[in-house]
Structure formats: C-alpha cells, structure tokens
Amino acid sequence: MNFKPFFIAGLLFEAIGQLLLAQGNEFVYALKPIDFAHWSLFLGVTLLIPQLGQFPKKTYSYLGIPVIIIGIVSIIGMCVLDFIWWSQPTQEIRNEFAGHISKFPSIWKPFITTGPNFLNIGLLLLALNYLKQNKLGVILVVVATLIAFFGRFIPSRLIYVYVITAIGYAIIFYKNKSINEYQTQ
C-alpha cells in the first residue's frame, strides 16, 4: 500500500496545528468542543507512522526511523499534556499544573522542551535517503530543519517548517515517479 499521501497529509496537519497554536493561548483554550490545535498535531504525527516501514533500507533510514519515532512519541506525550492544560477551567489552574510538571525533568524535557525536536531531525535524516535522486526536495527539507532550529526570530516558524517539509517530501515522493512514467510512455 502507498502511505506517501498519508505522510504528506501528516506534515500538513502539523502545519495546521501550528497555525492554530500561533493564534495564542486564549484562542486555543477557547476552542470547542475539542482542542483542534493539539488534535491536529496528534493526528499529524500518527499519519507519519505507516510510511516509516516504506523508506529505503539504507543507513539514513536506520538512523532516521528511531529518531523520528522518538519525536512522534514526544509529540504525542506533549499533546496529552496539552489536552490536560486545555481541559482546566482557569488559567490559574493551568499555571499551577505547568509549574508542577516543570519540576520533573523526566516529563518536561522529553515531552515539552527537547523531545519534539527529534521529529525534525528524523525527517531530515529520512530525506537524505533521496539526495542523489532528488536534490531539490532534500534541500527544502534541509532548509525547513534549519528554520526549525535556527529561525527563532521568524514568527510562527513551525508553520513554515512543516509546509516546506511537506513540499519537500511531495517533490521527493512524486517528482521521480512522474518523470519515470513519462519516460516509459
């Protein structure tokens, strides 16, 4: 089965989730009947999973798949924590909850500060499998990763990161296919 469209859709759901988050905490806390922002992030990373078994059996996959799985698990954990924040009736309770879990590095670091970054590193490593076949797509994923880690000055940078990554993977997955189909006709 072809899971590439799900993978690209997952990246676009990540961008949608980031777009909703960029509207601010008050907007996110006012979302009803569910926290659409974090459900979008949650759905996005789960849509990435089926494609992981379809990447080429190369060194970059052997490195990238475990790294991206760490990122996926971290984002799922972050979403669970954010669902708890969202469900609290007042900002005071949310602040108290945040203050409490921030005292536990075993929760805060893997799910809030450090862990989600593994997703972008894994996406980059997996894209490197296609460097010889599709430089443009890989370059876009590299640029997106650089923005993720060094573009702190760019407002709402993660929206751009996931849109650019989705475009990069779309080019990686489909550019060579359309050229090969054209050549066989």
Sign of CA dihedral 144, 73, 33, 93: negative
Residue 175's pLDDT is 83
Angle formed by the axes of helices 117-127 and 157-184, nearest 10°: 20
Q: pLDDT band for position 180 (50/70/90)?
A: very low
Q: Taking residues 15-34, what's their average pLDDT?
A: 95
pLDDT in tens, 119-132: 999 999 999 999 99
Per-residue pLDDT for 184 more than 90? no
144: part of which helix (H) or strand (E)? Answer: helix 135-150
Sign of CA dihedral 108, 110, 111, 115: positive
CA torsion, points 74, 1, 166, 12, in degrees to nearest 10?
-70
Query: Residues, the chain, total?
Result: 185
Q: Is the peptide bond before 110 cis (omega within 30 degrees of 0)?
A: no
- Residue among 93, 55, 80, 87 nearest 169 (CA): 55
Q: Which amino acid is at 127?
A: A
pLDDT in tens, 97-118: 999 999 999 999 999 999 999 9
Q: Taking residues 140-163, what's their average pLDDT?
A: 96
